[in-house]
Amino acid sequence: MVHLGYGAFAPHAILADLLKQERNGQATAIETNLALAVCSLADAPMTAGRLSTCSKALRGAIGKLIHELQRERLYVVGGLDDTFAPLSAVERFDPLDGSWEKLPPINTARHGACAAAFAGYLYVIGGEVSGVALRDVQRFCPRGSQTWETMPPTSIGRIRAAATACQEQLYVLGGNDGFSSLRSVERFDPSTGRWQAVAAMQKPRYACSAAARDDMIIVFSGELTETGAAASMEIYNVQADTWHLLPALRSPLCGSVPVLKASGDEVFSFGGLGLSGQALTFAERANLKREESPYPGLSGGPSWSPLPPMLSARQQMSACTFQDGAVIVGGKGITSEAQSKVEMYSETTGWKALPSLLTARMRSAVVAGHI
């Protein structure tokens, strides 16, 4: 690749010129995208990271670029071991070589945290230690020295909240403060380093799942009623700062884990507990996409359809969207022992076992991302 005006492949010269033009407000979209591609390919995400501090436009472009350049990998953080002691262990799965890699441990052991891949970093938010809901937020840089950094805390401690990125900001939704389920929502702006409260959800939600699309955030499940967990949904309009309830699905099995696909148009429900408290292999999904919805892509009446059962019965596991389906991590099965088993459901190939975790765990934070 040769940049016009340089006559050769000169990424650092391109970078210097781009920064000068950006400061003077002269960088065009074409120049910006070309320079980002050249510089990022030249010396990897380190250059992209420096560029992302220049402006919102560059940060947005870099986010898209890194998403394309980096393959999707799976991160697992914290959890509980067999003795129900909190873990600080962190692992990463790379589908290219099919193995788990041990990463530096998180600063504070915890379980019930939520995680998000955002702007080239892994964010881990909240969790629980000895019954106390944590406000703590940790950020992991997967490049270079691979270090953890303490970030500004959330306004309230959150156990098993949901996290998702939308329009260059990070949102954390619901959870439990140690006493009750939460409706509150906060968002983090990396340009200011501050959390800001936004409109609260219409229902309190604990252990819900969230996904973002365009300027909307969709939240599924987590509402606890007198008859158990409800499969209710609501949608947040970022521009209007408003929430709207959507028609609910049939309630999932008690103890099941919901997973919204990244597109927000399909949801999975995995596992659950039988009448005698035994872990189940049950799995189902619902297509949320309908043309008649007032919100693009979302329906007025979706319903569950069964999936092939999971390979192993378990509860207290963690799950997230991964590749074209979802992945199930850890948990506990018939016994109270923490599991190291990992399995993946693919829309095209069904269930398959992945290599086991290096550390058995339950109630961990798990997220897939292009970081």
Tell whether 44 is covered by a domain: yes
Together in a domain, 28 and 86: no
**89-140 pLDDT, tens digit each:** 999 999 989 999 999 999 999 999 999 999 999 999 999 999 999 999 999 9
Lowest model confidence (mean pLDDT) among 160-174, 235-249, 258-272, 276-290 = 276-290
Together in a domain, 309 and 242: yes
Together in a domain, 55 and 190: no
Q: In 3-state terms, what secondary structure has residue 60?
A: helix
Element (H, E) at 187: strand 185-189
Together in a domain, 76 and 189: yes
Tell whether 262 is covered by a domain: yes
Tell whether 286 is covered by a domain: yes
Among the candidates 26, 47, 68, a domain finishes at: 68
Lowest model confidence (mean pLDDT) among 48-57, 166-175, 220-229, 248-257 = 48-57
Statement: residue 52 has pLDDT above 80: no
**165-216 pLDDT, tens digit each:** 999 999 999 999 999 999 999 999 999 999 999 999 999 999 999 999 989 9
Provide the pairing of β-strand 90-94 with 99-103.
antiparallel
- Which range of residues forms the domain containing residue 173? 70-369
Q: How many domains does the chain have?
A: 2
Ranges assigned E (strand) in 12-119: 73-77, 90-94, 99-103, 114-118
What's the longest Cα–Cα distance across the chain? 73
With beta carbons less than 8 A apart as the criterion, state whether 288 and 227 touch: no
Lowest model confidence (mean pLDDT) among 93-97, 113-117, 153-157, 287-291 = 287-291
Together in a domain, 22 and 107: no
Together in a domain, 91 and 237: yes
Q: What is the mean pLDDT of the chain?
A: 85
End-to-end CA distance of the chain: 25
Together in a domain, 199 and 83: yes
Together in a domain, 76 and 211: yes
CA distance 141 to 148: 7
Among the candidates 32, 53, 68, a domain finishes at: 68
Together in a domain, 25 and 106: no
Statement: residue 296 has pLDDT above 70: no
Together in a domain, 82 and 38: no
Together in a domain, 35 and 137: no
Tokens at residue 235, please? 């949608």
Together in a domain, 31 and 165: no
* pTM for this model (two decimals): 0.81
Tell whether 2 is covered by a domain: no
